[in-house]
Structures are given as structure tokens and as C-alpha cells.
């Protein structure tokens, strides 16, 4: 069985803008992300992005615009992200088991990459990210100050999350 790091997108990999981020002009990779992902990949982790993109269900943007941002992410990180899953759903429009806090995106990746959830991590900036991972027994790391949630471990950014993950490997 393999191991992976599941990564939320907005607020972890790219800057959170306070609303939806879907245009290439507003899609800015956070400092240290390419280096962090390279370190995790070198340690043998699959890198899997799991992101809610409710703006699609709300008609604010299209899947093509989301894919354009994902292309920027892959280019900035040397195309080392193994897969990117996104949920187009929003409870006000449509329900889906793929929208976090449900675990559908993670379950798809577990099956595809033959992952052992006990050897995986989820790095996110919201309670719904932590809940999605917990449903499968995936350890979570909450990043950033945005979520008013008492959660441990909690670190500043992906760089610190990477340090924590790699220190657990020893």
C-alpha cells in the first residue's frame, strides 16, 4: 500500500483571496509550495489535490477556468502533482459525496493509487478539510489562521506542514 499527501488548494497551495479564485491573474502560488511538494515527492508520497470549487455550481466560473489554474499550479511545481480532484457542487445548488467535508475525492484517490489511509496526510486550511480526512482515518494538519478551530497539529503554512510530515517519517 502507498502513501500520499492530500492537499487543499486555496489557502494551502495558492493564496486565499477571500472569495473564489478562478482567473489566472489572481492565482498566486504560496511561497515555499514548489519546494515543499518536491520534498514530499522525494520522500515517496503521492501528491493529490482535493478542492471544492462551488463557484462552478453557482455559475460564477467554468471547469475550463479551474483547469487553467491547475495548469499554472502544475507548471510552477514541475508537474509533480499526481492528481487533482475537484468538486463542482454546492449545497445550495446540488449535493455530492465529493464535496468536502465528505470524503469522496479522497476515496477515489485511495482506490486509484492503492493508498493506505493510515500512511497518508491531509493538509488543509478549513474544518471541512480535516473532517474529510478524518472520515477515512487520514491524519490532518491545519494550516494558517483563517479557521477559528481548536485543532492540533496546526502550523503556519505548507512548508511547516512538510517539516512535520517528514519528521514523522523518521
Active site residue ranges:
8, 10
Is-contact 59 20, C-beta < 8 A?
no
DSSP string, 111-125: HHHTB-GGG-EEEES
Q: Which residues does 46 contact at the CB level (< 8 Å), separation at least 6?
A: 2, 3, 4, 5, 82, 83, 109, 113, 115
Grid cell locating 67: 483547469
Among 55, 51, 50, 49, which residue's Cα sits nearest to residue 19?
55
Amino acid at each position: 500500500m502507498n502513501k500520499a499527501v492530500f492537499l487543499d488548494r486555496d489557502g494551502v497551495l495558492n493564496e486565499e483571496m477571500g472569495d473564489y479564485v478562478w482567473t489566472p491573474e489572481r492565482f498566486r502560488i504560496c511561497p515555499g509550495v514548489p519546494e515543499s511538494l518536491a520534498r514530499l515527492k522525494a520522500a515517496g508520497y503521492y501528491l493529490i489535490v482535493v478542492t471544492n470549487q462551488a463557484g462552478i455550481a453557482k455559475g460564477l466560473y467554468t471547469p475550463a477556468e479551474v483547469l487553467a489554474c491547475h495548469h499554472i499550479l502544475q507548471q510552477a511545481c514541475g508537474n509533480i502533482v499526481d492528481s487533482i480532484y475537484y468538486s463542482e457542487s454546492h449545497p445550495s445548488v446540488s449535493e455530492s459525496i465529493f464535496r468536502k467535508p465528505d470524503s469522496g475525492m479522497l476515496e477515489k484517490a485511495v482506490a486509484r493509487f492503492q493508498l493506505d489511509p493510515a500512511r497518508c496526510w491531509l493538509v488543509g486550511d478549513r474544518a471541512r478539510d480535516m473532517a474529510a480526512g478524518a472520515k477515512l482515518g487520514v491524519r490532518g494538519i491545519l494550516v494558517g489562521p483563517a479557521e477559528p478551530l481548536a485543532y492540533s497539529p496546526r502550523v503556519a503554512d505548507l512548508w511547516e506542514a512538510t517539516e512535520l510530515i517528514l519528521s514523522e517519517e523518521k
